[in-house]
Amino acid sequence: MDIAAIVGLVVSVAAILWMQNHEGGSLGDILLPGPLVLVFIGTMGVGLMGGVLKDGTGLVGVLKTAFLGKPKNAAETVGVIVSMAERARREGLLALEDAIKAVDDEFLRDGLQTAIDGTDPDELYEILMAKVQAKKAADKQSAKILGDMGGYAPTVGICGTVISLVVVLQNLTDAAALGPMIAGAFVATFWGVAAANIFFLPLQSRLARLSGLEVAQMELVVEGILAIQAGSNPRSVAKKLESLLPPGTSVPDKKAA
């Protein structure tokens, strides 16, 4: 689990609450149930209108991934691929059939099984890259939902402010209550802007980052599987895959599978 999103959200909200308190205001002045419900629940509802029902049912999973998603260890995957290449070089591709059962990476495991089944190299490449493209498309849609909500949130907040101001104008005879009522009216606008910039849009960026890392690893796996199928020298496989890793990344030593 990667807690970067959780830490970032906690720090951002804490900074907002600290400023409110520092300026002499009460935390209760901005933690109003009405604006919070309108902005967060209302924005999610509006965001879902731009998609299909499946997007709505998958929103919880999208938020879970955005908050808790952790990039896979690409260096460890390279180690596994190299160990498979060593065994395939010694014993042949069919010798990997039992070894791949212990592979945790589903994409790598399925790709190796497809190669073992005797799939033509060109066809294997097309199959694997089709899965990569499908992953890209799914992740792009997930990030788009959060991005759309980030765009809608400020406007939804303004709607809340307008509603509150209508109530204020209906109570102009109560001069003593006008100040607090007008101040409360702008809380919805505040949370609309805040929700967009400390919740929806940052989570969209995080999803895009996680997707980029995972897609890059999948493309690395494709290169590794094709090299294993071609019977390439394990040292050449290692060097090629290591060149695709971020600078400074070390590949753990792996014993032959």
Q: Which residues of 79-103 are buried (b: 16+ CB within 10 A; e: fewer)?
A: bbbbbbbbbbbeeebeebeebbeeb
Task: Kindly tell me the sign of the dihedral angle through the C-alpha atoms of 32, 33, 34, 38.
Answer: positive
Type of residue found at 204? Q
Q: Dihedral, CA atoms, 82, 250, 220, 114, nearest 10 degrees?
A: 30
Helix 187-195, helix 121-169: angle, nearest 10: 170
Cα–Cα distance, 3 to 68 (Å, whole number): 6
Surface-to-core class of residue 5, CB atoms within 10 Å of its CB (0-12 exposed, 13-18 middle, 19+ buried): buried
Domain range for 131 is 1-257
Tell me the pLDDT of the chain (257 aa) as tens digits: 788 899 999 999 999 999 988 888 888 889 999 999 999 999 999 998 988 888 888 888 999 999 998 888 888 999 999 999 999 999 999 989 988 988 999 999 999 999 999 999 999 999 999 999 999 999 999 999 999 999 999 999 999 999 999 988 888 877 777 888 888 899 999 999 999 999 999 999 999 999 999 999 999 999 999 999 999 999 999 999 998 887 767 676 654 44
Which run of H or E residues covers position 174? none
Q: How many domains does the chain have?
A: 1
